[in-house]
A = this chain, B = another copy of it.
Amino acid sequence: MRAGPSQEEIRRQNLGALLRFVHVRGQISRAELTSELGLNRSTIGALTAELAAVGLVSEEAPRETGRAGRPSLVVRASSELIYAYAASVGVDRISAARIGLGGVIMDRREAERPAEDVVTPLREFIESMEASVGPGARCIGAGVAVCGLVRREDGVVRLGPHLGWLDQPVGEALAEKLPDLLPSVVVGNVADLSALAEHTRGSAQGCSNIIYVYSDVGIGAGIIAGGRRVTGHGGYGGEVGHMVVNPNGRPCGCGSRGCWETEIGEESLLRHAGRSGQLGRDAVLAVVDAAARGDAEAQAAVRHVGDWLGFGVANLVNIFNPELVVFGGTLRDVYLASAAQVRSRLNHNALAACREHVRLRTPQLGDDAALLGAAELAFEQLLADPLA
């Protein structure tokens, strides 16, 4: 019930809309911007000039179009000049990237996750990437994706069970180590941010109702409903791994029993494949490979997990009626190996109306999704008000 904006607010809103368009779409002609944004040519020209003057976009003549007449100038986000740092903290690995406006990965680092402090290696990654930044470029912030429950209010990781984290202010700690470069660091859940990235520039582009199910030891989901992220009151939404699907199932680390995570998490797959001692992504992929090569025990394990995967997805489809379900992390490979089980269970358990338009897909951005999503968080303020 907010009142309409002032003239000045409209100008800023238009600047933000134009910059966001260019950021998401890559490069776009002035003529397309005119029609997409519903503004006239002179307004588009003036807005573009304002953004170009502060280095956020550049304009150039397009390549030969083959058409008669003067071609429309092409507007591009200045990926070389404007960038954010993104980091991701997974169970096994940590990674960081320098990501230019427009979602272009300019530089990237990755390593095993150290048992203790992750902030020092992330700082070292960022310092090493910063050393090769060209003149005139400007860092506008940083985002971190963490496989844990992140409090929206202040970005503290309330609980990262598979990291052994409790109340970790990882964003604040990183900002403190790099005060000149990063005045503030935003933090989000890895599934949420991967969903955001796939929605912005991946497999879910153009879709408004999406469930992105993600596995990295634990299971979580990034949910987008009506085009907006569903993150809940405190920011903890999407904990689908702790939806109880099997009341007689195994105890879960959360204190409950038969959580979806206990049936489709990597520990379950490895146990059913007779490989209980093993852990981690490579071990999961080895089971999927073995199943593909005809190993009966691995095949049974994949079928078991696929059936429960479809079981939980059916619940979510009944609750959300999404148009797209994306399987990320190690679930990508598990899903590909068990798509028949997943679809069969979905068809059996979900209402026809809720499931009939659902597409099941793998991510387009792979392991970069978390970093790209973390960068989206970091770009958010700039896109909302580019000249602030």
Contacts and interface: CB of A to CB of B under 8 A. Distances in A.
Given A209-B233, A232-B320, A315-B244, A239 B354 contact: yes
Interface string A9-37: 11101100110110010000000000011
B2 A239 contact: no
Contact of A37 (B3, B37, B149, B225): B3
Contacts of A322: 232-233
Interface string A217-248: 00001010110111111111111101111111
B208 A233 contact: yes
A135 interface: no
A237 B240 CA distance: 16
A243 B320 CA distance: 11
Counted per complex, copies of this chain come to: 2
Contact of A245 (B239, B247, B321): B247
B208 A2 contact: no
A62 to B, nearest CB: 22
A14 B345 CA distance: 49
Contacts of A9: 4
A277 interface: no
A233 B321 contact: yes
Most buried by B among A14, A319, A353: A319
Interface residues of A, number: 71
B236 A353 contact: yes
A256 interface: yes
Nearest to A47: B3
B237 A319 contact: yes
A1 B200 CA distance: 12
A245, A248, A323 — most chain B CB neighbours (10 Å): A245
A158 interface: yes
A255 interface: yes
A91 interface: no
A28 to B, nearest CB: 11
A233 B321 CA distance: 6
Nearest to A151: B353
Nearest to A247: B246
A260 to B, nearest CB: 9
Contact of A1 (B17, B159, B242, B314): B17
Interface string A44-57: 00000000000000
B4 A351 contact: no
Given A4-B5, A320-B230, A354-B236, A311 B244 contact: yes
B351 A1 contact: no
B225 A232 contact: yes
B17 A234 contact: no
Contact of A243 (B247, B248, B319, B356): B319
A357 interface: yes
Contacts of A271: none
Interface in A127-161: 149, 151, 158-159
29 contacts: A1-B24, A1-B36, A1-B37, A3-B14, A3-B38, A4-B11, A4-B17, A10-B10, A149-B353, A149-B354, A151-B353, A159-B352, A159-B353, A209-B233, A221-B319, A225-B228, A225-B230, A225-B232, A225-B237, A231-B321, A232-B354, A234-B321, A234-B354, A236-B351, A237-B319, A240-B319, A244-B311, A244-B314, A255-B348
Q: Which 3 A-B pairs have the closest CB atoms?
A: A232-B321, A4-B10, A4-B13
